[in-house]
């Protein structure tokens, strides 16, 4: 994922769920595969947990703003690292083409809005719609980065 998305930070992979998912209590007890509950946990330099946002399900994702604020509140000096060197990742057979993501997120937003109107959960639909708008802006920013590289 770091190479595929050209992320400027490392990511934790925990396939056996013993590195972080289990110890931080994020294993979903309702998932027979033992997948993690979506969450953001910020760990301070002394190893203490300084922020935790645990989602209810895969569609309930926190915005990164809260995590960034928690990190800023630690008052740590910025760390410089070289940018990652992208490899040549290949999407898997079921991967959605990057060019289709904006359309997908717009569809998800309006489907949630319709479901919210039907069920009376319009606040939930609005929150999910805001998340989809955020994802759309992220994809557009990534388009610009990719365009400017050429």
pLDDT in the model for residue 97: 84
Query: Is 0.85 surpassed by the pTM of this model?
Result: no
Residue 84: pLDDT band with limits 50, 70, 90: low
- Say if residues 70 and 50 touch (Cβ distance below 8 Å): yes
Q: Give a yes or no: residue 53 inside a domain.
A: yes
- Say if residues 52 and 37 touch (Cβ distance below 8 Å): no
What is the average per-residue pLDDT within 77-92? 71
Q: What is the pLDDT of residues 94-103, one digit of tens each?
A: 778 888 999 9
**How many independent structural domains does the chain possess?**
2
- Secondary structure letter of residue 27 according to DSSP: B
Host domain of residue 6 = 1-82
Shared domain check, 103 and 72 = no
What is the average per-residue pLDDT within 119-138? 91
Of 27, 51, 82, which one is at a domain's C-terminal end?
A: 82
Residue 86, pLDDT > 80, answer no
> Whose CA is closest to 53, among 26, 20, 72?
26
If one compares 95 and 109, the residue with the highest pLDDT of the two is 109
Q: Give a yes or no: residue 88 inside a domain.
A: no
Residue 82: pLDDT band with limits 50, 70, 90: confident
């Amino acid at each position: 994922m770091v190479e595929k998305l050209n992320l400027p930070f490392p990511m934790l992979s925990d396939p056996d769920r013993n590195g972080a998912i289990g110890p931080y209590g994020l294993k979903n007890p309702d998932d027979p595969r033992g997948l993690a509950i979506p969450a953001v946990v910020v760990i301070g330099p002394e190893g203490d947990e300084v922020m935790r946002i645990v989602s209810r399900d895969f569609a309930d994702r926190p915005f990164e703003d809260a995590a960034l604020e928690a990190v800023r509140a630690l008052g740590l000096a910025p760390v410089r690292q070289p940018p990652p060197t992208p490899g040549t990742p290949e999407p898997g057979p079921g991967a959605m083409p990057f060019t289709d993501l904006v359309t997908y997120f717009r569809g998800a937003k309006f489907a949630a809005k319709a479901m919210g109107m039907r069920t009376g959960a319009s606040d939930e639909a609005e929150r999910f719609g805001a998340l989809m708008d955020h994802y759309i802006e992220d994809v557009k920013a990534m388009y610009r980065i990719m365009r400017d590289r050429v």
